[in-house]
Chain A
Amino acid sequence: MLIDVHAHFYHDRTPRADWRERNASRLRAGEKIGITVHVGSILGSWGRTSPIYFPSPADLEYGNDALLALQRDAPTRIRGYVTVNPNYIAHALAEIGRCLAAGMIGIKLAASRRASDPLLDPVCQLARERGVPVLHHVWQHRRRDWPGQEASDAVELAALARRHPEASFLLAHIGGGGDWEHSLAALRDVANVYVDLSGSGVDGGMLESCLEAVGVERLLWGADLTLDTAWAKLRYLERLLAPEDLERVKWKNAARIFPRGAFPAD
């Protein structure tokens, strides 16, 4: 079994005229790679009617509904994170309840509010109560504010995770740009933060550093926007890891932190 813990999908109210092709391409590539389940999210309207990283409540609902529809169409292949904007905290909590009840299995926090902000605490409390993980967008070593997002780095996510030791967090796309060595150093002793290996980065030495910093028990395989680089990392890990450890990265670690029954063989 192979679980992609960081997938994205599109819908008809995004700026992408090719949204159907992109969704289909992800699933087609997933078949070649052998992905059993794509755990995906939709960030509102992807910028069409509210910013990608600051999605409006209306866009979040439309995007989450679109993802639920995809999940209904392919229930064994697609599972969803409910995406919320914690600046609208009442809406966020209600949306989490609604979408988890409809079958989603995790919470996606992008970059609407810094990870260390207390406003995220109710979301994390709810994640713990419902037994679902939080996938948090991270800019690896953010040295300054970037336009269009209130990005967090690993130090800030670690601060949030320490406040919620019984919740599970995924540090998004360690290969997604930025100084991943800075992130790994920040996560060494934060046992409830898992490292999602996705991102276009395929730096030599990155996977070894991930293993060294957090151990094989805290690594999760994922793709984000580039399935080719994800497959490359998987192929490299097949040589680097013992078979039982490889299974952990491919799906067993994910099965441990997502709700029981989220995946076919779970």
Chain B
Amino acid sequence: MRIDVSAFLGAYPYRRVPGTSPDALREAMDRVRIDAAWVSHLPSLFWRAPGEGNAWLYETASAERRFQPVPAVHPGLGGWEDALGEAADHGAPAVRCDPTYYGLDPAGAEMRVLTAACGAARVPLLLAVRLEDARQRHPHDRASELPAAAVRALLRSDEDARLIVTHADRAFIEEVHFGSTPEEAARVWWDISWIWGPPEDHLETLLQTVGVQRFVFGTGQPLRLPEASVAKLDLLELTPEQRAAIESANAREVHAG
């Protein structure tokens, strides 16, 4: 069983990306043997009202049993509480918020209120550190990367908050993990998509220092080749239990609350 917690549907505004349709995502999942994907609506990340992509996302996910919707919630816009309730009603495994793309302070009042509401609703909050390498972004793509300090602040802001952070590298993860109490650190999960494998062996190191239980399988597809996350695991010497934890069990645990 392999669950991709970080997949996207829909066009990307800054360059041509193949494989953004539901059919193409299904084909990619077949290609790399992904059983289920937590899917976000990529275009609405850049909209003034990101929640307006949620209806399409729910409809699309309802037509494909392997898709699980991760709707967007913008806590600076009226009605966001309804969007969060709707997500819970749809059984969404998480909701996403990308504060720097929305023009919000990533650790500001709106984000703290959303984090608390997600904690109360027992819905994990998913945040991406980045979508692309900073060195290659389009000249107009100027949203800041999510700072590690914001993740630490959100973890501290509500004791029921559970975060899933995607596209983080080793330094980011270590800063948050060792800059948090063990109780706080136990409420954040990291996808493996941006963590280097050999010869630097960042993922191997993190699995030893931070712990297997903190990592989930994510790809960032179709912006990134999903083969990369599979290759990272194939290059490790993992027990079947460890591999299963990363590929599905940890994600199921965070979803189950």
Identify the A interface with B (CB < 8 A): 21-23, 25-26, 28-29, 32-33, 139-140, 177-181, 200-205, 208-209, 225-229, 231-233, 235-236, 239
Contact = CB atoms under 8 A, between A and B. Distances in A.
Contacts of B50: none
A236 B19 CA distance: 13
29 contacts: A22-B201, A23-B199, A25-B199, A26-B199, A29-B198, A29-B235, A33-B235, A177-B133, A179-B136, A200-B196, A201-B133, A202-B225, A203-B224, A204-B221, A205-B15, A205-B16, A205-B17, A205-B18, A225-B200, A227-B199, A228-B198, A228-B228, A228-B235, A229-B197, A229-B228, A232-B230, A232-B231, A235-B231, A236-B227
B222 interface: yes
Contact of A25 (B18, B201, B234): B201
A141 to B, nearest CB: 8
Interface of B: 15-19, 31, 132-133, 135-136, 196-201, 203, 221-225, 227-228, 230-232, 234-235
Contacts of B223: 203-204
Contacts of A209: 16
A180 to B, nearest CB: 7
Given A227-B199, A228-B198, A235-B231, A204 B135 contact: no
Contacts of A200: 133, 196
A208 B18 contact: yes
B31 A239 contact: yes
A168 B54 CA distance: 51
Chain B at the A interface: SS class:
loop
A221 B200 CA distance: 19
B228 A232 contact: yes
Nearest to B198: A29
Contacts of A202: 224-225, 227-228
A233 B235 contact: no
B58 to A, nearest CB: 24
| B16, B200, B230, B232 — most chain A CB neighbours (10 Å) | B200
A178 B225 contact: no
Given A204-B17, A239-B31, A227 B135 contact: no
A150 to B, nearest CB: 17
B235 A227 contact: yes
A242 B257 CA distance: 46
